[in-house]
Amino acid sequence: MRLSEVVAVRAIWGARCGKSARRVLSGGTGTRCHAGSVRPLTRKGQLRRGSAKATAPRPVPTSHRVNHDRLMAKIAERVSDKRLLKLIRVFLQAGVMEGGLVNPVDEGTPQGGPLSPLLSNIVLDEFDRELERRGLRFARYADDSNIYVRSRRAGERVMESLTRFIMSKLKLKVNQQKSAVARPWARKFIGFSFTSAGTPKRRIAPKAVDRFKERIRELTSRNRGVSIERMAEELSRYLRGWIGYFGKCEPPSVLAGLEQWLRRRLRSAIWKQWKRGPARFAELRRRDVNADLAGQTAGSDHGPWRLADSPALSIALPNAYFDSLGIPRLTVKPIA
């Protein structure tokens, strides 16, 4: 079987550079930010035909391993105000509180503020320039990057040389578990991957789907002991954020399958809340299910998950019912 070949045009983004990670997927116009974090250099950051391997040397998160002296030297190249430099140094050496005690730090950047990702991207700006100098095609967002070459041999050579560059020049460690040479569709980038058949399309990475299902299972657990209205409210908050990011995946079948699975979990949870046969029969009849079907379903020995896919519950709890609870659909794109 012939595998589709793909190559990514250069697209470099820095975390919190006025835009979101979602913009990386479609690209945009822009130039380098003078502070060191960067915007995409091309109109489209999508995959094109022409290459076969994705190399992903993954630094350990720069917030954990940034060398303070080297970072301050890079900042001093552009910032001459000594008071500001001193303030940044104090920020870096603020320490971490553990067990009520403040422990000093000699590397990394404190988390939780807008300055931390900016400082990390100043360090990785040199990584971007090195890739550009070598003429490599790549995409980077924060410490997540993919580099596209034409063969496995080239990928292994690039991986080895860039690992040396990251460790010796940038003074960072490489996360070997998250670094690999593989086909582009075998790797993920900011939660997405790509299809391998025909024209490459953007799809949700399998791990992102697994995290989604894990969170949905927590929110729709039949043993939570909360009302369906409360469950719908919490679920809606999560789904709006998730759809806002992952709703732009191109194969619609994935979202359709997840939506069908989600509705079935909700019907299963509601069926469990109705508890016993008489109450279940009364609820089904109240929701226009005929007496024979309602009696057969209410008296069934099957469990909630099996019955959640039954005709009776599809009639009693249609998709329109969940719409009335304010639960957004995965397959309907939100209005911009």
Where helices occur in 3-114 by DSSP H, the ranges are 22-26, 62-65, 68-76, 82-92
What confidence tier does 297 reach under pLDDT thresholds 50, 70, 90? very high
Bridge partners, residue 148, by sequence = 54, 137
What pLDDT is attached to residue 120?
75
**170-218: per-residue pLDDT in tens?**
888 887 888 888 888 888 888 888 887 777 788 888 899 999 999 999 9
54-91: buried (b, 16+ CB within 10 Å) or exposed (e) per residue?
A: bbbbbbbbbbbbbbbebbbebbeeeeeeeeeeeebeee
Q: What is the pTM of this model?
A: 0.72
Name the pairing type of β-strands 11-13 and 180-182. Answer: unpaired
> Cα–Cα distance between 16 and 185 in angstroms, integer?
27
The two three-digit tokens of residue 280, written as one number = 């279940």
**256-272: per-residue pLDDT in tens?**
999 999 999 999 999 99
pLDDT of residue 132 exceeding 60: yes
pLDDT of residue 14 exceeding 50: no
DSSP 166: I
Decide: 158 and 172 in contact? Cβ < 8 Å: no
What confidence tier does 311 reach under pLDDT thresholds 50, 70, 90? very high
**Which residues, in sequence order, are CB contacts of 245 under 8 Å at separation 6+?**
21, 22, 191
pLDDT of residue 107 exceeding 80: no
Kind plus residue range of the DSSP H or E element containing 228:
helix 228-246
Q: Residue 311 class from Cβ within 10 Å (0-12 exposed, 13-18 middle, 19+ buried)?
A: exposed
Kind plus residue range of the DSSP H or E element containing 3:
none
Decide: 330 and 260 in contact? Cβ < 8 Å: no
Q: Which of 74-88, 185-199, 258-272, 299-313 has the lowest mean pLDDT?
A: 185-199
What pLDDT is attached to residue 30?
35
